[in-house]
A and B are shown apart, each in its own frame.
Chain A
C-alpha cells in the first residue's frame, strides 16, 4: 500500500510548534515533516491535539511558538486566506455547500470566471468539466447543491480546493459521516490526489482507515508527539497503545464506595433517539457512572434524550422509581400515563438535571446577572405568589456559590476588580458582585456557577456533559472534589467526558459508547484507559446503516 512518496522531498515542515488555549496546552513542541504528495495521517484521542495541528497548517489557528516551513521557506499564517495563497486548504468536518447553487457554481464560489461583472456560465461549465476530469470525478456540474450526498459534498469541497490550486489538503474526519461504499470511493479519490502530487493530511479517528490509506502516521498524545512512522509498520494495536497513558499527573479525590443498598435513581430501558440506539443503563444513588466514547458517538445525544431536551423515539426513562411522564406534583396525570414527558422541565421536576456541553450556548444567560443565572432553575421555590423573594434568593445564591467555591468579587473578605472599579464599599443591601453579568466571571467560575444552579435545585440525578472542558487545572480539581462530594451525599452522577483519565479517576463504573450504542461496560480492575479507548475506537466496522444509500448512484 505504501508508495514511495516520501522520497519526493519534504513539502511542509513543522518545527517546535506549541499552542495553548487559556492555560491549557493543546500542542507542545511538535516537530514533523510531511512529504510532497504523501498521505499523512494524524491520530490521537479526543483532545490530543490533532485537529488543532490541522488548523495550524491551514492558518485557522496561529501557533504561539515554533516555525512552519513550506518548501523549506518559513511562513506565518494569520488566516486561512493566507494559507490558501500558499496552496494549503482545510476541508472541515462541517461541509459548506450552498444549497441553491449548482455543483459547478459551488466549486467556483468566489472565483467564478467573469465577463463584465456577469458570471460567464459557459466558461464556468468548461472549467468545471476540465477540473473534474483532472481529479477523475464523475460528478455532474449541473446537479443542485441541495440534496447532495455527503460523499458528493466532499467531492465538491475537494474540487473547490483544487481550483484554488491547493497543493496540500487537510481533511478533518472526512469519512466520519460516510457509509462504507462511499468511504471506499473517497479513499480512491484521496489516493488519486496523492498520486497526482497533492499532499493530503488526514485527521482521522478510524485507525483501520489510517493503516490502509496513509503513507506516514503521526501519533499525538496529550498535545505531544509520540512518533511519526511509516504507516506500513503500524497496526491498529500499535497505534492504540501509543495513544494511551497520560504523563500529566492530575490528582483525583478518593472514590467513595457506593452503598450496596443504594437505590437506582436513573434507569433507561431501550432508549432510542436521534443518534442514540437502544441504550439501557442504570445509575444508583451515590454512584458516578462515566460515559466515554469518541466525539460523535452519541454521548451528548444520550444525555439530551435522558433529560428530554431531545425527542425520544423509543424506550423509557425512570427517575427515582418514577417514570418520566407528564404529571403534576399532585399526582394527576395530565396527558395520560404512557405519554412521555416533554421538555427538560419535566425531567427537572422528576429530579434529573443536566450541565450541558457548551456553557455559553446552552448553559449561561451571559448578559444577565450572576444571581439570575444561579437561581434560574429554582425560582419557583424562591418566590411567593409569583413574586421573587429577592432577599431569600440572594441568600440562597450566595450560599450555593459558597458551596461550589466561587468567590464573587464584592462578596466576603476579598473584594475584587468589579467592586473596586465601581467601588461601593460597605454596601449591605445590594451586592454589586452578584449583580454583575455572569460573563465577567472566569471560565472555571462560570462552570461552577452552573453547578451552583443545579445545587440550588437539588436534583436526584446529575448528567454532567464535559463539565471540565476549557477550565484551568485548579478549577478542574475543584470540580472533581465537588462531583465526588455531591455523589457522597447521595446524588447519582452520569459523567460524560472525552478525558479518559478523568473518567477513570472519578467514576465507579464506565460505559463506552460507539455509534449510538453502549459498546462496553467496565468496572473495577477492568477499568483501564486501554480498555476504554479500545472499545471507543472499536473495529472500524461500519455497515451501510450509518449512511443509507438513497436513490441511484450519482457519484464516481
Chain B
C-alpha cells in the first residue's frame, strides 16, 4: 500500500517540468562549485602537505564542496516537499486520500519516501563527482562515506520539515517560507553560538548549540561521525513525520486545512 503512495509521489515530482529545470540548474551549480574547489585545492595542495595530518583531496572536497551543499539542500528539500499536501488541499483531492483505506501514517511515510528518493538522486550527483576523482587519484572512501551520510541524513530531516509545513497549509509558498524560516533559524543558532563562544558572549547562547544544524552536520564532512549527530537528524526526521501524522489525524477528525 505504501509503495503505491511512494510511486505516486515520485512520479508526480518526476513528471513535473519545473522539477527537472530545478534539477538541471542545481546540477550545473554543483559542477561549477566542484571545479572551483578542485582549483582551490590545487592552489593550497603544497601548503596542506606540510601539515601534520593533512586532509587529502577527499577531505578538502568534503569540507569545502559537500558541506556547503547541506545548506543548499535545506532550501531544495522544502521546495520539493512543498506541494506534497498543500496541492492536495488546494485541488480538493485530499478527501480522496482520506476516504481511501490508507492510514495517515502510511500516507505520510509514503509521500515522504517518494520525495526523499528523488532528492537522494540529486544528492548522488555531487557525491558522484567526488567519487569520480577516484579514477585519477586515490580517494578516502571513509571520509566520502561519512560526508554522504551527512548529506543524506540532513536532507532527510529537511524533507520531513518541509513535509510537515506542507501539511499545515493549502498554500505551497507559505509552506516553503515557513520551513525555510525554521531551518534558517536552526542554521543561525549555530553561528550565533559559535561566535558567542569565541568572544565569550554575555547571553547563554551556548545552551542552544544542541539545536544547531551547523554544529551537528559539520562532523560528517570532516569524516568524524558522532552518534549524537546521527540521533539529532533521525529525531528531527521522526519528530516532523510524527507531527504530520498528528496533523492529518486531526484533519480526519474534522479539523480545517
A in complex with B: no
Residues of A within 8 A of B (CB): none
Residues of B within 8 A of A (CB): none
